[in-house]
Structures are given as structure tokens and as C-alpha cells.
Chains A and B, each alone.
Chain A
Amino acid sequence: MEMNDKKLQVSAIKNGTVIDHIPASSLFKVINILGLDKIETQMTVGSNFESKKLGLKAIIKITDVFFIDDDINKIALVAPEAKLNIIKNYKVVEKKVVEVPDNIKGIAKCGNPKCITNHEGIVPKFTVVNKKKVAIKCHYCEKITDSEHMKIF
């Protein structure tokens, strides 16, 4: 909060999406999951801001990009508290929270090194067994991977 207002206000966007309340440690996972490394419009990324809830948080502002819910819910695995502001003409027109999906396919790797999905080219499938402290159960080997050990493709 001691930060200079001018510095904190990294270019407010005219149209697009702001993703806030990302745990700083998950920032690059979120970028990966949403494929933001391939986006060609302006994007501002900030990280390691102090947050009462998360310790350190990150924020992403993307110009002219709007996500569909299914896509955005994928980040729930690594940023379950993330909040989205949809910006149109400098105004927040919609706020969204991410929801942890019941089933996920192809985002995370199974944490069990002896699982078939880590041996043959199979798209991993999971059911989410805990939505608060995210934990996923592999459809194939039936082992549970928690968020600490989760690897994102």
C-alpha cells in the first residue's frame, strides 16, 4: 500500500480481462494453462504483490481477450481464488469467480510415476475429489494427486 499510485496503476485497459488474486507461485502455470504466451494483444503481468489472503499474489491484464467459462475454470486447479473482471470501455461490466470443475481432462499430469498416463501417450483424466484444497483422482491409476504435487502440462 506504500506503493506509488502512478506505479501501481499499470495502464488500465480499455477492453479486456483482468485476472486478479492469483497466488504468485501459480502465475506461470496460469499463463501456460490459458496459453497467454501466444497472445498477440497487449498484456500486463504483475507479481509478488502483498495480499492478506494469499501472501503474495499476481495479476494479469489482457487487452481485447475474453474467456469462455470452461477455459477459465481450468485455472481453478492452481488459482482457486482467482477473480476476473471483464472490462468494457474502462468499466468493469462483469465480475466472475472461477469454479473448480468436477472433472478435468488433459491439464494436469498424474503425480504417480507408475501411472500408465506417464508411460503411454494418453490424455490424463481426473475427477476432482476435493474442491477447497484441490485434489484430483486419476481415472486410470485411481491415485490422488494434491495441489502441491500437481504438474501442469
Chain B
Amino acid sequence: MENNHLVSITDYSKEEIFKILDLAADFEKNPNQNLLDNKVIATLFFEPSTRTRLSFESAISRLGGKFIGFTDSSSSSVSKGESLKDTIMTVANYSDMIIMRHPIEGSARWASEVSRVPIVNAGDGANQHPTQTLLDLYSIRKTQGTLDNLNVYFVGDLKYGRTVHSLLQAMSMFNTTFNFISPEELKIPDEYKLFLDKKGLKYYEHRDFSDIISHADIIYMTRIQRERFSDPMEYEKTKNSYVLKNNMLENTKPNMKVLHPLPRVNEIHTNVDENEKAYYFTQALNGVYTRQAIITHILGLKK
């Protein structure tokens, strides 16, 4: 059987994305299905990511599967200097699928070339995090009823935010209009603007987080991290300029939803949480359904 891995969102065609989203909708209706009976899934977290790991482990548990693994590399043989290749080839003997998070970019692609079981990338450095992208797409389709012709606003760290880059790549298949709101130092990299130019898609860049959001169907918030700034003064100046507060939502469209990959720090004021346009916690719940869909689709357990 040819292995099918999920390393990058670009591995999936539009049809495959729809397949996953439909399966996820099925799991939302009926989350507990014993499809992973007698299956062992490895969750290898070479760097800690509690949220992503728990979401995967919840998905595996709801499918009746077992999981093995480690939660950071200090508790594994990596700390003894084992290569990634050796770790993957060994763990592939113990499991039916490997879900991995690794700080080095390209590690998941490399793992997929040496593993005899499917690899699911749960984040490789600043590169890809395709299961996050799929759950974002699921959340967008569920709240908007479609993925086509939407007006999506990305806010915050658009330079290093890999969730932004992957979602942008995926949404570019659906005639999306993009708006990028960020400080100068964290603006969307030129290579993504070039990518959108080539696709003939419209995008606008803004420095001010203001009432331009009244046109948004989706506002995708991201965290601005102190360590991303070369100048700490610059961070202090900008950190409060990209905070979403409840009163800013007054003139937004009724269908508009606020998404955030979480964890949030202060970029969405807690007074937004009660607003019906706040969707980030439901988005995290959707992550479990989407990961159930991905696991069962890759293992061929769900047609």
C-alpha cells in the first residue's frame, strides 16, 4: 500500500480538502466511533505543544485508539543524540501512524521519506501545520456556509505566523479577497504577495486596525510575540495597537466570525468572548473533529 502522508496543506487537492471537511462534519454529528480499534498511533512531540497534542489525543481516544509517544524531546532518545531518521524508523515499528511536531523546518517531509507508516505533520518549525489549516477551513465553511468569495482579514504577526501562510495558500483556491493588518515589522512577506499576484487575487495591506473590518466575513487574529521584534521598544509601541475589543465589532457584518489559532494572550480582549461573533473556542473543538477526519481518511478507515 502506498503511504499517504499529510505534511503540507499543498499536498491536498481541493477535492481532498472537501473530503476531509465532509468527514469532519460527520464526526461532529457522531464523535465517538470505534474506528481505531487495535490501532496504535504515535504522537511524537519533539517540542512541547500541549494544545495540539491534547487535540490529537482526544481525537484518537474518541476513535477508540491507543497512543504512545513523548511530549518533549528531553524525555526521548533525541536527548541522547539520536537522529530524526532513526527515531522515525524505530517508532514506525511500534505504530500504525506517526503524528509529529518538530522545531526544524522540513523535518516532517524528511520523516515521510523514511517512515513506512503515514506521517501527519503537527507543525514543523515556522513551515507548515496542515491540520490547523484544515480545522480553520472547516470553521470558515461551517460559519459562512461556503469557502467561496469571502473577505478574510488577517491581523497581527503575518511575517512569522505559519497558520496565516498555510491558510492563505489554501484559501487562494476559493477566490478569497485578503486584507492584511500588521505592524510594518511583521508584514506579510513578499513571496506570499507574489503568490497572490500570480493567482490574480485581490489583497490589501493596512497598518491601522480600524473600522475597515466592517467588510470582513472572517477576522483571523494572531499573537504578536515579543521575541519577533529586533527592537524591544518597537514591541512596546505596537503590542497594544493590534488588540481586538468588543466595541470594534459593532459595525461588522452579522455573519462575521473571529478566529484565532490559540493560545491567546491579550490580542483579543476577554470582553469579546461573550460576543456571538467570537468563534475561537468552537474552532478549537472543530479541531478534534477535523483530526478524527484526517486520521481515519489517511488510514483508509472511512470512505
Contact = CB atoms under 8 A, between A and B. Distances in A.
A116 B105 contact: yes
Interface stretch (A28-36, A69-77, A93-101, A136-144): A136-144
Interface string B86-104: 0000000000000000011
B44 to A, nearest CB: 15
A120 B83 CA distance: 7
B105 A140 contact: yes
- Chain A interface helix/strand/loop/mixed: loop
Interface stretch (B60-68, B106-114, B135-143): B106-114
A140 B191 contact: no
Contact of A114 (B83, B84, B125): B125
B122 to A, nearest CB: 16
A106 to B, nearest CB: 15
A114 to B, nearest CB: 5
A117 interface: yes
Contact of B84 (A120, A141, A142): A120
Interface string B235-277: 0000000000000000000000000000000000000000000
Contacts of A141: 105-106, 109, 124-125, 127
Contacts of B110: 116, 120, 122, 140
B84 A143 contact: no
B84 A116 contact: yes
Interface range, A side = 10 to 19
Interface in A127-148: 138-144
Most buried by B among A112, A119, A120, A142: A142
For the complex of A and B, the 8 pairs showing the least CB-CB separation, nearest first, are A140-B106, A141-B105, A141-B106, A116-B106, A140-B109, A116-B107, A116-B110, A114-B105
